[in-house]
Every structure is written in structure tokens, then in C-alpha cells.
Structure 1
Amino acid sequence: MMPTDGAGKIAKAEARIKDLAYQIFKASMLHTQLLCAREGCLDIDWRTALIETTARPIDDIAVDHQQIRERAAREVANMPDADWEPDMKAGWRASLEAWYTASKNCLDDMEELEKQTRAEAGKPVDDITERYAMERDLHTASYRAGLTAGGLATDWYQWLLNRVKQWPNTNRRDSQLAEMEEPGYRQKLQQLPPYWALERH
């Protein structure tokens, strides 16, 4: 028979894993909404859509994992209103700033959660730090490009180019540099969603 303390440790570890899964689902779902908001494709009724979409189980997903997904979706859908949402009419600058802050916090949470998950399994986390450093560069470039689109001069493209050239991951670096040379890359990033231009009167 397994000692009581052993059973307790296993139960505690399982609860910890479930909580990490919940936190990861939640951060990932929010990150997706933020990306859509920046690209101008976030639906006004995104909260309801998130709950409805998540309620449809993924093939072969375990019941407890599906419950965790639905719980995470409800939490994201019930978060307080934010200026980066399409129906807030906060003006482009307030919307962009709110998006930048929320996205930064989301990336921080996702990095920490991935590191905790790796640590639980006794695996190294160096590659996670490297990957999120690259994501933050792209995130900051998108913010700077948004400022330029709003009329504030920022040499966001050259800034990003300098950052990307320093990326240690060769494949990711070369891929990003090639993408930045594509026609329309600047125009694609240097824009603001039409709904961010709206202001309350």
C-alpha cells in the first residue's frame, strides 16, 4: 500500500498540473484575441463566440481537459472591458497602448507558465527564454508600427531589423528577415484597425 504522504504528493502534483493547464489555456486564448484585435479582425461579440467555440469539444480530448478549456474561456470572456476591444471607441492611441500593455502581460504570463511546466518535468528552459525574447521584439515592432500609422514618427522597421539580426536562432532569424523583405510587409504592419480610430463623443 502506498504511504499516505505519497498519495498526497501525487494528488498535489496532479492538481498543480491541472492548474497549469488551465492558466496556459487562459493565456493562450487571450493572446489569440489580442492578435486578432491588432490585425483588425476581432469581432465585437468575441466573448460570446469564444465561449461557444470552446464548448465544441476537440476530437479525442479528455473530459477533464475539455472542462479546463471551457473554464478558461469563461474567465477570458468575463474579463473587464478593455480599450483594445473593437467597440470601446477609446481612440487609436488609448486602444494601441491598452493592446501593448495587455499583450506584454500576456507574453510574460505565457513564458512563466511554460517555464513552470518544463520545471515540473525537470527539463531546461533556456529555449523558452530565447523564443519569448523574439516574440517581444515582434510585439514591440507592431506597437511602434502602430504609432507610426497614427502619425508619430518611429523607425520601427530599422529597429526590428537590428533586433532580428541578433536573434541566435538561425532558422527563425532567416525566416523573419525573408518575411521583412516581402512586398507589402511594412504596409501590413504599419496600420491601425478602423475600429480603433473611433472615439466616444
Structure 2
Amino acid sequence: MSEEIKISWMDKLLAKVFLPLFPRWIKPNHVSVGRIFLTPLVIWFFWRDSYLWGGFLFLATSFTDALDGAMARTRNQVTNLGKMLDPLADKILICTVAYILVLKYVDVYTAWVVIVLEFIIIVAALLKYKRGEEHPQANWWGKIKMILQVLGVLILLLSIIFNIEHLLPISKGTFYLAIVFGILSLFTYSI
């Protein structure tokens, strides 16, 4: 059974402003794979303590999450592969950044909760797939989770780059809020 593709106002905005920059031969799955391949470069910058460059690249790489989905929906290029690639690319980016930055600057517990939750979401999606159910679409809880994770990383980077220690608890709180939305997202998958 085919699902009706819902195009949001954000999809329409991205389609008008950014998608004209992408030729038609570039498919949404190309953008998702690009995010996967950019992640090691983001990590390399962070590993070398080049947080400003790493931060810019992280922000650009994170933005491709919105672009590939909008591209898929507005260009009618939604695929089952894309439904798996897009969240996988997000999880690779967020988990590796959590491992590098959150572990180093926030605490071990927060980093591992973020990583384990992402792993549980992957396992839940795989179990649904194995039961023959259609791959779950991204829901608003999951989208908000991703936005909060990106925001948490950006606040953490501001704290590191500009040596503003009181931003660390704000970053940590943002990650915990993202964890709450991640749990809500997991329950809406109806495991």
C-alpha cells in the first residue's frame, strides 16, 4: 500500500530557496550518502580541535537532512532506500559527534544515552522491517529530536569556541530534551 506524500510548508520553502541549486540528476539519496561521507571530515576537524571549521561543516552537513527529505517529497523521489538512508546518515553524524564532543565536554552518561537511544531506534526500525511492515516515516517527534541534537551540538561548540562555560549546562539540557523527544519518537513507531 502506497502512502500519500505530505509536503509541508518547510518542504515548499526549501524547494523554492535551496533546491534550485541542485540539478535534477542529483537525487535525495545522493544527498544522504553525501552526509555519510562528510561525517568523517566533520569528525576530523573536531578531533584536531578545529571547532570553528568543524562547526561550520557540521551545520552544513546537518542542513542536508532537511534538504534530502524536501527534495524527495517535492520532486516525487521518495524511495524505500531513502527512508532507510536518511535516518541512518543522521544517526551516524549525531552518534559520532556525541562520541567525540559530548563525551569530552559534557559527560559520559549523556553521550552514551544519546548513542544508545539512536541504536535502539535503528533496531526498532529493523524489527518492523523484518516483520514485513513498511519502514516507518520520520515523525515530528523524531524531527524535533534531530533539531534539538543539532542545537545541542551548536551550543556546545559556542561554549568551546568562545570559552563560555555556562553554556555547557544549556547544551546538556538540550541533549536531554532531545532524548525525551527520541523516546516519544520511538513509541510512535508502535514497536
Q: Greater helix share, 1 or 2?
A: 2
What's the TM-score, normalizing by structure 2?
Answer: 0.40
What's the TM-score, normalizing by structure 1?
Answer: 0.39
Name the larger-Rg structure: 1
